[in-house]
Each structure stands twice: as C-alpha cells, then as structure tokens.
Amino acid sequence: MDSLYEELQLVRECLELTVSDKNLGAINKWEKVINQFTKKQILNLFRIISFVLSIPSSNCFVERIFSQMSLKWTDIRNRSSVDLIRSELLIMFNFEFNCQEFYNYVKTNKEILRTVESTSKYSFKTK
C-alpha cells in the first residue's frame, strides 16, 4: 500500500491538471497521465487503472452476440449444433476479412487446405 500511495503522490499534480480538462474523456485523461511516467514508476496505479478501464460500461456487446445467435438459430436451422453456432459467431465477430481477403488467405495457407481436404477433425489453431 505504501508504494501505491507514493505513486499517487508522484502523479498528483499531473492528475489534477488533467482532470480539469473538460475536452478529454476518462480514458484519454488516464492515457495522458500514464504517458508522462514510466510504467515502472507507476506500476501499481497502472494495474488498477487497466483493470477498471477494462470493465465494459454496458452489456451492449453481449446483447449483440445474443441477437446474432438468435438470428442464426432459427426454426429452419433448429438442428444446428451448439458448436456450429458458436463457430459461426466466433468467425463473425473475430475475422475482419472481406470475402476476397478470406479466399486469398485460405488459398495461400497450405495447412488449412490440407486439413479441409482430409476427413479428420480440425485440430490446429493459428499461432
């Protein structure tokens, strides 16, 4: 606790100046404060700020996933497995390729092509 107190004393003046800036949001204010010190100087404070700012401010993202899941799991596709729907959602939310980019990616990746052509289950993960 003593080291955290010392870190707060170190950033106190910078923090007071930054908080008074009404044009910046909370994340930008903390970014401005953190950038003025080395990570080693404010390690405990950095950990606390990182943890607090990683907490979502709403459940919008989760609701979006459930909404997409219900669109994929329709009466027509009611026999789809949980794994299939999960895989589709993972691809939908984690890939940023358009169709042409994905085609080129798969076409040039020999390991994916070998796995798709075989009858075995997909056992690799990209590194």
Q: Look at residue 123 and tell me if it is in a domain.
A: no
Q: Look at residue 109 and tell me if it is in a domain.
A: yes
Angle at which helix 26-34 crosses helix 43-54, to 10 degrees, equals 160
* Same domain as 103, residue 67: yes
* Same domain as 48, residue 70: no
pTM reported for the whole predicted model: 0.51
Confidence of residue 94 (pLDDT cuts 50, 70, 90): confident
The residue segments making up the domain with residue 66 are 60-117
Q: DSSP 3-state assignment of 118?
A: coil
Q: Percentage helix, strand, coil, to 5, in the chain?
A: 65, 0, 35
Q: How many domains in the chain? A: 2
| Structure tokens belonging to residue 50 | 């990182």
Report the chain's terminal Cα–Cα distance, integer Å.
39
Q: Look at residue 127 and tell me if it is in a domain.
A: no
Q: Look at residue 17 and tell me if it is in a domain.
A: yes
* Same domain as 64, residue 32: no
* Same domain as 38, residue 72: no
* Same domain as 49, residue 19: yes
* Same domain as 29, residue 73: no
Q: What is the pLDDT of residues 14-40, one digit of tens each?
A: 888 888 888 888 889 999 889 999 888
Q: DSSP 3-state assignment of 98?
A: coil
Distance of alpha carbon 67 from alpha carbon 102, whole angstroms: 25
**Residue 36 near residue 14 (C-beta atoms within 8 A):** yes
Mean pLDDT (the chain) is 86
